[in-house]
Structure 1
Amino acid sequence: MNKLSIGPQLRTTSVLVVHLLVMHCSRGQSKLIGSSQPIVATVGDDIILPCHLEPAVDVAAMTLEWSTSELDLRFVFVWRAGQELVKTKHPSYKGRTSLFTDELKQGNISLKLCKVKPADEGTYLCFIANLNKASLVELVVGAAASPVISLKEIEVIKGGVVLQCESKGWYPEPELLWLDTEGKILSAGPTETVRGPDDLYTVSSRVTVEKRHSNNITCRVKQSNINQIRETQIHVPDGLFDVLFSSLIVILSLGVGLAVSFMLIVFIVLWRIIKSKRRQREENYKMEVEKKSKHVNQLMTESQKLKKERQKSEDQIQQLENRIQELEKQLQAKNEKWFPWFRS
């Protein structure tokens, strides 16, 4: 809600000055009476800010003014020469303020304010210019709404449930509390507060309820300034916690079973991997042995081949030597025949 632009000290001084004027101007026969207690209104309501002369004086032909310090003493309603001066009215109050014109002759200049908004809160000045009389009326605006509790989560491991409480449409900003059956405040998460474009607040909070807590849980939203309290209660049955405990046992059992199964699967996979690697090594060794054996056989074959070729060569050499000897003998015989004197 937008407050007036002047500072708090100046506003207080202005209100004191108005009070002094009221005291000074109340020395005549009639007194302008407002309200000694703040007027508390709910957002959206139609309310009346009381102001009247006592004893009664006809003010129908006088100049009557309603203004508020929240608007730097700008007008929310002006009555002059028997009619309303619409042009002087602040735009935020257009179509929402009026007087009881048929009661002006009885000195009643109370202001009717329709569809109250949070921004309407503040101090209002009722002033009769002709009599130089004034009175103050304090308006306190509030709004309240019942909270709503919902189940948000189930924490099986902790054996508890998470409840959320939300309340929309408050003004001013309220306080949210969680209570057990005995009215003791429960430890809850931080309250989240959101202020909407209509200046109304929405508050929400979460709490984890465990079996050690009582079954009846209350969410209370309160605003001390407007003396408003709204609360909602929810019953958490014992059976729910028994179900959570059973679910926890089932989950733990499943967890253990899954862990054992996982370990078994891992063992089987590792065993197969090791077995596969061992088989691969054996096959590689076998292939290597076969390869070397084949190479040895090839070398032996080549060796035998070389031996045969060597033997063949030796046989050829021997044949050549025999042939040479034979030729030498033939040559010697011819020499002896042809050359008898020649002796080798």
Structure 2
Amino acid sequence: MNLKVFCLSLLLFEATCFTEFEITVPRDTLTGFYGEALILPCTFPVDSLWDLKSTVITWQRGLDVVHSFYYSQDQLDRQNRHYVNRTRLFSQEMAGGNASLRLDRVTLHDAGMYTCSVSTNTGSQKKSFKVKIAAFYSEPRLQFSMLTDGVNLLVTSDGGYPSPTLQWLMENSDITNQTQTQIMQDTQTGLYVVSSWISLTEVTNSSLTFILHNRPLGQDIRRDIQLYSDKNEQGESAHRCQGCFIFIPVILLLIIMTVVFVFVFLFIKKRRRRREQTKQNGFTEMGHLSEIQILNGKTMREESRAEEAKVERGEVTGFPMGFKSSMLADQSSTAISWSAKHLEVVLAIWAGAKVPLESCITAVNKKLDPMVMMACGDLNIHQLTQQDQSSFFYLHFSKLLAEFEITVPRDTVTGFYGEALILLCMFPVDSSWDLRSTLILWQRGLDVVHSFYCSQNQLDRQNRHYVNRTSLFSQEMAQGNASLRLDRVTVHDAGMYTCSVSTNTGSKEKSFKVKIAAFYSEPRLHFSMLTDGVNLRMTSDGGYPSPTLQWLMENSDITNQTQTQIMQDTQTGLYVVSSWIHFTQVTNSSLTFILHNKPLGQNIRRDIQLYSGNSEMQEESAYRNLEWFILTPVFLLLLLIIMSVLFVFITRRRKRGQTKLNGFTEMGHLSEIQIRNP
């Protein structure tokens, strides 16, 4: 009977252990980042009976031992070598039930099903959960290849995991099926290298978008590419070039033939005239020659005499002398003393406040704090006598000299465009602090940003630029919080801000500087194929302040070879930046565009690869065109010479035939004369 009772008690004890001892591990899949540390959570219950010596913790991936702990220390003899020097437990937190494992330098091979086993003097249990590894893809690199049959755009990204999903858009229409993609996996790291390209045989003015999705990490990379081509001008230029090689030689031939025929015609005509007039005008020509010589001699003598007279006269030249002077106008400036400025502020705030005249005079005469006596009454404060007003403000300024310190930022505060900005200002409070005696004023220069007195906001004199954009933390004012929240920050909010606080214990004002900044958008690349080369333009907008731009070619600075245009939006004040570089001849090179927004530490770096696959063919084509351009005129000239020789040969042959015919005719006439004369 006793044995049965013992066995039943043992079963009940074990059942109690299994029901009361529960370890906790992640329910969902845990994602680790390649190369970084990963915490595998596992907790177990502990109580006052827990003992470290009786605790056994084992981590496994499948059947491989990842880490084991017992006898109050790590036991790594059976640890899989893949995890050597990469695992550790949180020993100091083990008493709080922490059996989590830290896994350093995570690799893709660490993915799998992990099991956490915990056994203590109060119970035992093990649970498993899944771990997957992912890696972010790098910034895509863009390569332009100018080929003989068009343009090739190649986008490459690496260092990511798992395999991504790629998409190409043209004017928001999916053209992924027109592209080609190559995905390779590194044999050592297991990370992927992705290359995707599209070939365009006819470059038109269009907008391309490349999108890479890495879904496990929620990484979406989107890059816009603008293409531009003056195709019509190129076609007309090519047509004109082809026409040049056809019409230029023809025109040259016509010109040469015209010149030759004109020369021959003039030569023949001149020769005939000379034959006819040689005898008649021989002496006349000699007379004309003598006359010309005489006239020329006379002219030369007259010019010589004129030169001599000019030399004898001489020429006296001078230059004007004078002095120019300018006067500098004296400039004067005015300064406002601290007390006068504060008096103006106090008057501006209290100008509309109403207090009982008797109470105010009593407060002044008894030299009590006027802020304590202020209340919303029937009489305006300006109805006090001048002496009472002087005493009133003298008491207020005497409070300024008391020890009262407020806290504002020492360094410049940076606000982000379009977001909310908290302007910190804290003041001391004690048990005697009263909300009704508290005055808080925020200013930017002389503009009233926000004011608070008589236990409520007083926004009648608030600058319209801040309307519906400012608020104080009223519920925290009792803790000395006079901070201001400024919503929907714009670039015009930059400047020097002053926080003025006056309470029943003292008054103080302090200033600090506020600057506004905005992140620049993802640069958009414009690729333009022009008749005289290629133009690359990078455009980014929505940023502030004006950025610093830099261009690199093979790590050498070529910024001085680029052109930059910076424009500012008249409404928002944000900048639009465009920078471009022009290449008359495209060579295989690597370009880098860098945008620095120093106030925000924003550095945008974009790599561009240029490749020209038709340079050799272009050179060969140019060489062939040059050959044709040179050889065609030579060939036509030779043809003209041959035609001229044939023309001369035929002309002489005809003359010989005519001479023989004339000879026989003369002999006939002579015979006839001889017959008639006997």
Question: Shorter-chain TM-score: what band?
Answer: 0.5 to 0.7
Q: 2:46–2:95: 8 Å Cα contact kept in structure 1?
A: no
SS of the aligned residue for 1:52 comes to coil
Kept after mapping to 2: 8 A contact 1:218/1:234 = yes
**CA 1:265–1:211 in structure 2 vs 1: closer, same or farther (change >3 Å)?**
closer
Q: CA deviation at 1:152?
A: 1.8
Q: Distance in 2 between matches of 1:111 and 1:219?
A: 40
Cα distance in 1 between the residues matched to 2:17 and 2:242: 85
State the match for 1:45 in structure 2. Answer: 36
Q: Using the TM superposition, name which of 141-150 and 36-45 deviates more.
A: 141-150
Partner in structure 2 of residue 139 of structure 1:
131
Other-structure match for 1:328: none
Which residue of structure 1 aligns with residue 103 of structure 2? 113
Return the offset for 1:114: 1.1
1:214 Cα deviation from its structure 2 partner: 3.7
Q: Which amino acid aligns with 1:138?
A: K
Shift of 1:183: 6.0
Going from structure 1 to structure 2, the CA distance change for 1:137 and 1:250 (only over 3 Å counts) comes to same
**Against the structure 1 CA distance between its residues 104 and 189, is the aligned structure 2 distance closer, same or farther, given a 3 Å change threshold?**
same
Cross-structure match for 1:31: 22
Residue 193 of structure 1: SS of its match in structure 2? Answer: strand
CA contact (8 A) 1:220 1:229 kept: no
Partner of 1:246: 233
**Deviates further, 116-125 or 147-156:** 147-156
* Contact persistence 1:149–1:232 (CA under 8 A): no
Distance in 2 (alpha carbons) for counterparts of 1:67 and 1:139: 12
1:152 and 2:144 are equivalent in the alignment = yes
The aligned amino acid for 2:102 is K
- Indicate if the aligned counterparts of 1:180 and 1:213 stay in contact, CA closer than 8 A: no
When you count helix as a share of all residues, which structure comes out higher?
Answer: 1
**In 2, distance between residues paired with 1:253 and 1:58?**
95
Residue of structure 2 equivalent to 1:63: 56
TM-score, normalisation: structure 2: 0.32
1:189-226 CA distance string (max 9 Å, x none) = 321112112111010111235655742x22222233x1
Structure 1 or 2, whichever has the larger Rg, is 1
Give the drift of 1:86: 2.4
In structure 2, the residue matched to 1:290 is none
Structure-2 change in CA distance of 1:168 and 1:245 (3 Å): farther
Match of 1:206 in 2: 197
Which residues of structure 1 form unaligned runs of 5+? 1-23, 280-344
Equivalent pairs counted in the alignment come to: 246
State the structure with bigger RCO (CA 8 A, min sep 6), 1 or 2: 1
Q: Distance in 1 between matches of 2:169 and 2:46?
A: 53
Counterparts of 1:101 and 1:201, CA distance in 2? 37
Post-superposition Cα deviations, 1:120-163, rounded to whole Å, max 9, x if no partner, equal 111101112454410112111001124424242235755xx422
Gaps of 5+ in 2: 1-14, 250-627, 647-678
Alignment of 1:321-332 (within 5 A): none
Give the letter aligned to residue 100 of structure 2: S
* C-alpha contact (below 8 Å) 2:23/2:126 kept by paired residues: yes
Percent same amino acid among aligned pairs?
20
Give per-residue Cα distances to partners, 1:156-203, cap 9 Å, x unaligned.
Answer: 755xx4221111111112222222352634444321112112111010
What secondary structure sits across from 2:19 in the alignment? Answer: coil
- Does 1:81 find its partner at 2:68? no
Superposed displacement of residue 257, structure 1 = 4.2
The residue matched to 1:87 in structure 2 has which SS? coil
**1:1-344 → structure 2 map (5 Å cutoff):** 27-54=18-45, 58=50, 60-61=52-53, 62-69=55-62, 73-129=63-119, 131-154=123-146, 158=150, 161-182=151-172, 184-196=174-186, 197-208=188-199, 214-215=206-207, 217-224=208-215, 226-236=216-226, 240-242=228-230, 244-255=231-242, 257-258=244-245, 262=628, 265=632, 268=635
Task: Check whether the contact 1:33–1:54 (CA below 8 A) recurs between aligned residues.
Answer: no
The secondary structure found in structure 2 opposite 1:191 is strand
Q: Whole-Å Cα distance in 2 between the matches of residues 212 and 265 of structure 1?
A: 36
